[in-house]
Amino acid sequence: MYFMPAEYPPWQAKGRDFRFPVVIVGGGAVGLTLALALARLGVSALVIEDDNRVCDGSRALGMARRTLDIWDHLGVGSRIAAKGVSWVGGRTYYRDKTILEFTLPKEDAYRFPPLLNIQQCYVEQYLVDEITGSGGIEIAWQTRFAGLEQDTDSVSVEIETADGARRVQADYVVACDGARSSVRRVCGLQMEGNSYSAEYLIVDIQLQSKSKIERRAWFDPPSNAGSTVLMHGQPDNIWRVDFQMRDDESIEDALRPDALRERVARHLAAIGEPATFEIVWATTYRAHSRVLSDFRLGRVFFAGDAAHMFPIFGIRGLNSGTEDAFNLAWKLSLALRGGATDQLLDSYSAERLYAARQNMTLANRAADFMTPPTRGKRLMRDAVLSLAVSEQAVRPIVHPRQATLISLYGSYLNSVFEPEADDGPLRAGDVLPNIELRDGHHPSSLCRWLGCDFTLVADGRHLDVGWRDRVKKLLEGGNLTLLTIGRGFGGAPSSIADPDHSVRRMLGLEDSWGLLVRPDHHIAARVRLTGGPELERALLTAQGIR
Ligand SMILES: Cc1cc2nc3c(=O)[nH]c(=O)nc-3n(C[C@H](O)[C@H](O)[C@H](O)COP(=O)(O)OP(=O)(O)OC[C@H]3O[C@@H](n4cnc5c(N)ncnc54)[C@H](O)[C@@H]3O)c2cc1C
């Protein structure tokens, strides 16, 4: 195997303190990201994980820029980026013809590329390593969640440990226990949505290839007539090949080692790759498109696959789960410090459910194209593919829709005080871009300059004398920090020089505009720094206090 995960002994429950502010059920990518985000906010948590190691195989492999930015803020972005490989673009084929070639934009202004390929197992291991070095978080390996009861003050969680059954008290519980969530079942919750009938055979192979790291998709290729094949490059010369199974094929037969090898060899021969490869991992997959109608049940929250499942073709599962974790962490932290309203905690569900529904619509579109669920949709898809061979205008329709940034424009935590606030490059609901800073700044990316609280990002020149005392008062209030761009302000600790004004232009900070940025880097308000009470009001609204 190219990846040898560390193995962890069973959690020793004897003599432990059985009260934790937060209990996270499930130490997958989402639970681990949440744990690290809580640790950065000074909140201790217990992660309950059934397994003795991180996940197998590649599973999620395409990490979106926003996900990388979150991990960067949590201190693991550089390690993940150093291991991962960037996408350059993709190609789509119909039968033996190329019908689309696209290149992902090269955007040097940002810290990370739009998409980076890295196996999920690496990401999880790096998160565990970082958590282990951070303090405040305990991972209870080989410990199984068995049940819970909650009242108005706390949650009592039943766990099965190596020492037998135990109970842990928590202020809040977050279910990050994946698609088959036991927490969801115990709470009697059902997801809404549907499942696709098409089955996929997913194979990781080790192959020395000179091909570019791009997403290649073959529809009805001669080597696998009637099906769809996808291929992605990953670190360590690992290539992921996804084969759609035809209705007349049996998945059990396809998984037999000789059949698996023969199928991969046939595909590689057809695309001109030398057929010396090793199969390192194989699994089967069926697309599901399901979501809970609420991600909160009292003191219990749902995140990642426990809350929503999307078809993998839009690479949105892990990516959106990471955003769930980052959205929830600061709200729980405020609640534990006694500063969160019920409205703030509810906003987690409102915001992430909105994002999940957007993701679901987009991922379904991708899945409908990859594996048309009805005869009508298949006829339509095939017509588009065959037209795309000769018609340039049709080609954008076959462009795969990958994870996209979802802005929270409709969130009730946002404030918009005047129509012009929406005219800038960024507005309330958008995510602050993680701009790569030149001129020898350390840290060298914008989001690493943000702390754990709300941040006012402004050009120091605009905080004039009239503002000085008010901003100081707000800063002393404890929930707000100040990051100035261009010129410092009073004793503000953080200031980024911006000699060519490029950062201010990208953020839209001219004409006295400032950005109120939440701890999860969403913009809560774009306010004019001209002396009115907007900033104070926006800060209260962003905390669910109206
Ligand atoms: C083949 C494949 C390819 C994918 N490709 C992509 C992609 O490219 N991009 C993308 O964004 N997403 C992709 N996904 C989806 C992605 O893998 C999931 O969305 C992601 O793993 C969800 O993370 P999670 O932490 O919510 O759940 P999981 O990763 O499933 O983690 C849940 C954890 O909970 C633990 N657990 C479960 N029950 C219990 C219990 N009772 N007690 C204690 N612990 C428990 C499990 O052991 C596990 O560690 C892919 C998925 C698959 C299967």
For 204-260, what is each residue's pLDDT tens digit? 999 999 888 888 999 999 999 989 999 999 999 999 999 999 888 999 999 999 999
Q: pLDDT tier at 461 (50, 70, 90 boundaries)? A: confident
Supply the pTM of this predicted model: 0.96
What is the pLDDT averaged over residues 136-146? 96
Round to whole Å and give the CA distance between 168 and 364: 39
Provide the residue type at 157 as one letter: V
pLDDT for the residue 130: 97
> Which mutation among 119, 127, 312, 328 tests ligand 1's pocket best, with the greatest number of atoms within 8 A of CB?
312
Q: Which carries the bigger pLDDT value, residue 134 or residue 172? A: 172
Q: Which helix (H) or strand (E) holds 160?
A: strand 155-161
Share the mean pLDDT of the chain. Answer: 92
Identify the weakest region by mean pLDDT among 60-64, 74-78, 488-492: 488-492
Q: Which helix (H) or strand (E) holds 504?
A: helix 502-507
Query: At residue 134, does pLDDT exceed 90?
Result: no
CB distance 324 to ligand 1 below 6 Å? no
Identify the weakest region by mean pLDDT among 85-99, 247-261, 462-476: 462-476
**Is-contact 173 183, C-beta < 8 A?**
yes
**Is-contact 159 146, C-beta < 8 A?**
yes
Task: Express as a percent the part of the chain with pLDDT over 90.
Answer: 69
Round to whole Å and give the CA distance between 440 and 496: 10
Q: Name the nearest CA neighbour of 87 among 114, 119, 110, 57.
A: 114
Atom 51 in ligand 1: residue holding the nearest Cα:
59
Q: pLDDT tier at 492 (50, 70, 90 boundaries)? A: low
Ligand 1: nearest atom to the Cα of 51: 47
What is the pLDDT averaged over residues 141-164? 96
pLDDT for the residue 102: 87
What CA–CA distances, in Å, run from 10 to 148, 160, 206, 540? Answer: 21, 11, 32, 44
CB distance 87 to ligand 1 below 6 Å? no
Question: Cα of 26 to ligand 1 centre, how many Å?
Answer: 9
pLDDT for the residue 490: 66
pLDDT for the residue 22: 98
How is the beta sheet containing 523-528 ordered, strand by strand?
A: 494-496, 480-485, 454-459, 513-517, 523-528
Provide the residue type at 68 as one letter: L
Q: In the numeric block, which tokens belong to residue 332? A: 């729980």
Question: What are the tens digits of pLDDT across the range 353-411?
Answer: 999 999 999 889 888 888 888 999 999 999 999 999 888 888 877 776 666 789 999 99
Ligand 1: nearest atom to the Cα of 64: 11
Question: What are the tens digits of pLDDT across the range 396-446?
Answer: 777 766 667 899 999 999 999 999 999 999 999 999 999 999 877 788 899
Query: At residue 531, does pLDDT exceed 90?
Result: no
Helical segments of 45-93, H only: 65-73, 77-83
Question: Cα of 391 to ligand 1 centre, how many Å?
Answer: 40
Atom 1 in ligand 1: residue holding the nearest Cα:
59
Query: At residue 274, does pLDDT exceed 90?
Result: no
Q: What region does 237 belong to: left with phi over 0, alpha with psi -120 to 50, or beta?
A: left
Atom 13 in ligand 1: residue holding the nearest Cα:
60
Provide the residue type at 390 as one letter: S
